């Protein structure tokens, strides 16, 4: 048994994701053709040898539950430990809104679960970050350095500065000396990827202290409150990172996967990203098909033209149809002669013959799940 | 009971390291996925897989049976290799009937009413529950699945001669002058008590070759047991030879061939490879082919079957070929009418196989797994390559 326990926060909502989060939460958004965002956090943990993972959910989690199931696709269906989904049952009624105001609220809501963790260390991470993180290396550094908290950080700005924290680092001892919480412009040396490693005992005491002071926010209650008190250090990660918060961002982050070096980093075969297996057959290309600079998942039937696009499993592009600069999710059907440019089609969308739909790279057209055009 | 011990010697280089049922098929599958998926889709939850030849990869592939939902607490999939019996010397499975005989204790443990015997080298989709219903309705001791074949080809098959009610009165193995065109598909349902009795008797007969077709079926006919023929209509192919394996793979490209893998009513399950989606490069030209995740295609692919993690570099051409998992075709190479096995690399500018011709020497070229065909080298049509081939300096 590995001595590291995983907690994945899988409830964040981003209003700028519009139709994409109408029927699901941000962590179960399809990404990169065959994946869901939560696959990255789960795979990162499993690839680091983590066997026990708590998945903290709050609302619209039906699609997420359907995806993770028993956890068997990540080898997390275990007799002891494995994947535990943590819905907000014990939290309901504590605050009038019924919504977690911050991560410390969420952790307080599952404090029984936290007390029963078998491991000495805990890693907290977000379920909506697409990155292939070497958690094992970060854990090793954490133990060796003797830090109280280790935060995985990136030098590159990977999202709107307002949506993350920045740290200033002491150049001599590598400790975090200042935290900028959701600043309007980039500040400090590195951006937080919201992956925190600490001991179980420290986590429990911090959860208690925050609850006692009604402090729901991780940034305020832990990072700022303990500056200079706790030894907080940074683990540097310089690979590809995508945090999906808006439709335009989602589109660009998908398109980035057409770059070979980004694919090589995100889908590093040493640390494979696992996902739910659907036993799809191979993709079929018809006699007059064309598929250029695109990522195509299994089970598609392509008889038309696909250019610069990302196709999920089971997509159909019929004869004479043209798909350019699009992200098409599971079982989208583009019928004969239809033309799509800069379109994000959610699951089971049908575009009838001859329709022409065009968005723009800065404002891709989104067609909501199960809709027919 | 799925007979998966066949050596598959006619598949030559493709079965030098794996048993025939574990040979990759149709982009995503191995041959055994078809009978296994048929079992699951027919509601059968207890399957014995009888292995003996090169079982390592097959055993690893089947694992706990999770990919077919056969990881069950009661029943599920069981690998049954030959083993040393009490007070006796152990022996390899001598024939198909002996293989079942050696596992009588496995069957007794489940004490079924009926036993379905399958072979692991056929590509087809079949609802065995319909065949079982037929078996019960006719009150047969044994039901044999048959299909109509052209009369002129009937002498290549085991032929069932039936009466007006499709009851079998005679069985002829590869008859010179066939009386009917109903060929046995090697799929049998036995009433368990009858099967048990005939297997024990057959084993006691030292002159028997312990084979269902040669011994058990003729003996049961001679004893006037009720033997029913169950007519199957649809796609069925024995993939025991290089040519038939290539043909059946090409049938996956033909929507009218009858083996539709996109049918969600009768899915074929497979142990999945964890790979990102297929990438088609800026110069890719893919036509009339099936291509699988983890592959990178930057060249031309026509009328071909590509498994996962295949690489076709820019300027390479692949036509009427099968590229098994991990095969690499380097820039400018041409692969036509060929089967390239797992992880084999075809060097830049090399030429494997040749366009179809009337030359009697012409055939499908096969390059076995984990080999390297050097840059600029040439592999003629019909060649079976089992060693690295040196490159040719330009």
Structural domains of chain A ordered from first start = 4-266 (3.90.550.10), 284-367 (2.160.10.10)
pLDDT, residue A95, reads 55
pLDDT, residue A96, reads 54
Which residues, listed in sequence order, are joined to residue B310 by a DSSP beta bridge? none
In a 3-state reduction of DSSP, which class is residue B366? strand
Give yes or no for B67 touching A (CB within 8 A): yes
User: A297 vs B267: CB contact, 8 Å cut-off?
Assistant: no
Residue A206 in tokens = 């911090």
Q: What percent of chain B has pLDDT over 90?
A: 80
CA distance B92 to A164: 66
Instruction: Return left, alpha or beta for B326; rule: phi > 0 is left, psi -120 to 50 is alpha, else beta.
Output: left
A187, burial (CB in 10 Å: exposed 0-12, middle 13-18, buried 19+): middle
CA distance A297 to A327: 12
pLDDT, residue A304, reads 97
CA distance A20 to A246: 9
Which residues, listed in sequence order, are joined to residue A315 by a DSSP beta bridge? none
Question: Model confidence at B379, in pLDDT bands (50, 70, 90)?
Answer: very high
pLDDT, residue A102, reads 87
pLDDT, residue A21, reads 83
Query: Which chain A residues have a beta carbon less than 8 Å from that of B269?
Result: 279
Please check whether residue B212 is in contact with residue B117, taking contact to mean a CB–CB distance below 8 angstroms.
yes
Closest approach of chain A CAs to the CA of B59, in angstroms?
Answer: 19
Q: In this model, does residue A187 exceed pLDDT 90?
A: no
* DSSP character string of B282-343: TT-EEESEEE-TT-EE-SEEES-EE-TT-EE-TT-EEES-EE-TT-EE-TT-EEESEEE-TT
Query: Mind listing the pLDDT tens digit for each residue in A64-113?
Result: 999 999 999 999 999 889 999 998 765 544 555 567 888 998 898 888 89
CA distance B328 to B347: 8
A293, burial (CB in 10 Å: exposed 0-12, middle 13-18, buried 19+): middle
CA distance B292 to B251: 16
CA distance B68 to B76: 9
Q: What percent of chain B has pLDDT over 70?
A: 98
For A304, name the nearest residue in chain B, comparing CA atoms only: B287
Please check whether residue A9 is in contact with residue A97, taking contact to mean a CB–CB distance below 8 angstroms.
no
Q: Which helix (H) or strand (E) is B132 found in, with range? A: helix B128-137
DSSP state, residue A27: G
Q: Could you tell me the pTM of the whole model? A: 0.92
For an interface test with A, the pick among B280, B284, B297 (most A C-beta atoms closer than 10 Å) comes out as B280
Q: In this model, does residue B394 exceed pLDDT 70?
A: no
Q: Which helix (H) or strand (E) is B192 found in, with range? A: helix B192-204
pLDDT, residue A25, reads 83
Please check whether residue B373 is in contact with residue B350, taking contact to mean a CB–CB distance below 8 angstroms.
yes
CB nearest to B290's CB, from A34, A279, A282: A282
Question: Model confidence at A293, in pLDDT bands (50, 70, 90)?
Answer: very high
Closest approach of chain A CAs to the CA of B173, in angstroms?
Answer: 36
CA distance B393 to B377: 9
Residues 6+ apart with CB under 8 A from B297: B278, B279, B280, B281, B284, B286, B291, B306, B310, B311, B312
Q: In this model, does residue B12 exceed pLDDT 60?
A: yes
For A312, name the nearest residue in chain B, comparing CA atoms only: B277
DSSP state, residue B382: T
What sections of A213-323 are H helices per DSSP? Answer: 218, 247-255, 260-266
CA distances from B318 to A4, A278, B29, B330 (A): 48, 28, 20, 11
User: B277 vs A33: CB contact, 8 Å cut-off?
Assistant: yes
DSSP state, residue B247: H
- Of A71, A111, A72, the closest CA to residue A88 belongs to A111
B263, burial (CB in 10 Å: exposed 0-12, middle 13-18, buried 19+): exposed
ipTM above 0.85 for this complex: yes
Residue A1 in tokens = 């048994």
Give yes or no for B222 touching A (CB within 8 A): no
Residue A328 in tokens = 């098409």
- Strand-strand pairing, A190-199 and A149-154: antiparallel
| φ, ψ (nearest 5 deg) of residue A31 | -145, 140
User: A294 vs B285: CB contact, 8 Å cut-off?
Assistant: no
Give yes or no for B281 touching A (CB within 8 A): yes
pLDDT, residue B88, reads 66
CA distances from B294 to A2, A37, B262, B329 (A): 30, 19, 19, 15
Scan for tokens 């991470």, then name that residue.
A125
Query: Which chain B residues have a beta carbon less than 8 Å from that of A299?
Result: 262
Question: Model confidence at B218, in pLDDT bands (50, 70, 90)?
Answer: very high
What sections of chain A are H helices per DSSP? Answer: 38-47, 62-68, 103-109, 111-115, 135-145, 200-212, 218, 247-255, 260-266
pLDDT, residue A185, reads 86
Query: Which chain A residues have a beta carbon less than 8 Å from that of B253?
Result: 284
Q: Chain-wide mean pLDDT for chain B?
A: 93
Scan for tokens 């390239």, then name that residue.
B340
Please check whether residue B17 is in contact with residue B240, taking contact to mean a CB–CB distance below 8 angstroms.
no
Q: In this model, does residue B7 exceed pLDDT 80?
A: no
Q: What percent of chain A has pLDDT over 70?
A: 97
Query: Mind listing the pLDDT tens digit for each residue in A1-37?
Result: 589 999 999 988 777 888 888 778 888 999 999 999 9
Q: Which helix (H) or strand (E) is B99 found in, with range? A: helix B96-101
Please check whether residue A124 is in contact with residue A7, taking contact to mean a CB–CB distance below 8 angstroms.
yes
């Amino acid at each position: 048994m590995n001595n590291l326990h995983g907690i994945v926060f899988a409830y964040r909502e981003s209003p700028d994701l519009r139709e994409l989060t109408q029927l699901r939460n941000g962590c179960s958004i399809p990404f990169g053709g065959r994946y869901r965002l939560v696959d990255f956090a789960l795979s990162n943990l499993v690839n680091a040898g983590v066997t026990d993972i708590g998945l903290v959910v709050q609302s619209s989690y039906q699609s997420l539950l359907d995806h993770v199931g028993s956890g068997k696709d990540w080898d997390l269906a275990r007799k002891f430990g494995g994947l535990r989904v943590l819905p907000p049952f014990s939290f309901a009624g504590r605050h009038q809104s019924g919504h977690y105001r911050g991560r410390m609220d969420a952790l307080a809501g599952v404090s029984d679960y936290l007390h029963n963790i078998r491991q000495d260390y805990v890693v907290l991470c977000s379920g909506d970050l697409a990155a292939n993180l070497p958690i094992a290396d970060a854990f090793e550094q954490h133990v060796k350095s003797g830090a109280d908290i280790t935060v995985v950080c990136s030098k590159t700005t990977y999202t709107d500065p307002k949506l993350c924290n920045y740290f200033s680092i002491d150049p001599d001892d590598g400790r975090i000396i200042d935290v900028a919480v959701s600043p309007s412009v980039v500040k400090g040396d590195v951006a937080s990827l919201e992956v925190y490693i600490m001991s179980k005992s420290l986590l429990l005491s911090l959860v208690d202290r925050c609850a006692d002071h009604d402090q729901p926010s991780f940034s305020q209650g832990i990072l700022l409150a303990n500056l200079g008190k706790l030894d907080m250090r940074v683990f540097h990660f310089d690979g590809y990172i995508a945090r999906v918060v808006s439709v335009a961002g989602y589109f660009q982050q998908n398109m980035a996967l057409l770059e070979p070096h980004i694919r090589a980093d995100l889908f590093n075969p040493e640390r494979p990203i696992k996902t739910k297996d659907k036993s799809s057959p191979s993709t079929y290309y018809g006699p007059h098909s064309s598929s250029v600079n695109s990522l195509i998942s299994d089970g598609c039937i392509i008889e038309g033209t696909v250019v610069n696009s990302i196709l999920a499993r089971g997509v159909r592009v019929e004869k004479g149809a043209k798909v350019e600069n699009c992200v098409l999710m599971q079982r989208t059907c583009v019928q004969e002669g239809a033309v799509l440019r800069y379109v994000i089609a959610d699951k089971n969308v049908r575009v009838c013959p001859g329709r022409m739909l065009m968005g723009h790279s800065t404002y891709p057209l989104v067609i909501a799940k199960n809709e027919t055009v | 009971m799925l007979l998966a011990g066949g050596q598959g010697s006619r598949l030559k280089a493709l079965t030098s390291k794996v048993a025939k049922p574990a040979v990759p098929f149709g982009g995503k599958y191995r041959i055994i996925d078809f009978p296994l998926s048929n079992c699951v889709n027919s509601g059968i939850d207890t399957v014995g897989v009888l292995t003996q030849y090169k079982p390592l990869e097959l055993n690893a592939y089947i694992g706990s049976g999770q990919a077919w939902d056969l990881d069950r607490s009661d029943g599920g999939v069981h690998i049954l290799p030959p083993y040393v019996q009490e007070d006796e010397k152990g022996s390899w499975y001598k024939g198909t009937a002996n293989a079942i005989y050696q596992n009588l204790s496995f069957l007794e443990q489940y004490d079924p009413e009926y036993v379905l015997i399958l072979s692991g080298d056929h590509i087809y989709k079949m609802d065995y529950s319909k065949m079982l219903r037929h078996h019960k309705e006719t009150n047969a001791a044994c039901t044999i699945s048959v299909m109509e074949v052209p009369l002129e080809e009937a002498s290549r098959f085991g032929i069932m001669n039936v009466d007006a009610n499709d009851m079998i009165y005679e069985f002829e193995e590869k008859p010179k002058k066939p009386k009917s065109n109903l060929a046995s598909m090697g799929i049998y349902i036995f009433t368990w008590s009858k099967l048990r009795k005939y297997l024990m008797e057959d084993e006691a007969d030292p002159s028997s070759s312990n084979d269902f077709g040669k011994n058990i079926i003729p003996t049961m006919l001679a004893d006037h047991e009720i033997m029913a023929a169950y007519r199957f209509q649809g796609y069925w192919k024995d993939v025991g030879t290089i040519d038939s394996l290539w043909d059946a793979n090409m049938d996956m490209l033909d929507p009218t061939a009858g083996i539709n893998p996109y049918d969600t009513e009768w899915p074929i399950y497979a142990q999945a490879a964890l790979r990102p989606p297929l990438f088609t490069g800026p110069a890719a030209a893919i036509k009339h082919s099936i291509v699988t995740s983890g592959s990178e295609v930057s060249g031309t692919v026509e009328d071909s079957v590509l498994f996962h993690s295949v690489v076709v570099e820019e300027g390479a051409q692949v036509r009427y070929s099968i590229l098994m998992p991990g095969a690499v075709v380097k820039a400018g190479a041409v692969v036509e009418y060929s089967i390239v096995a797992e992880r084999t690399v075809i060097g830049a500018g090399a030429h494997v196989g040749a366009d179809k011709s009337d030359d009697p020497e012409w055939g499908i070229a096969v390059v076995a797994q984990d080999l390297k065909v050097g840059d600029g080298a040439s592999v003629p049509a019909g060649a079976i390559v089992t060693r690295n081939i040196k490159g040719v300096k330009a």
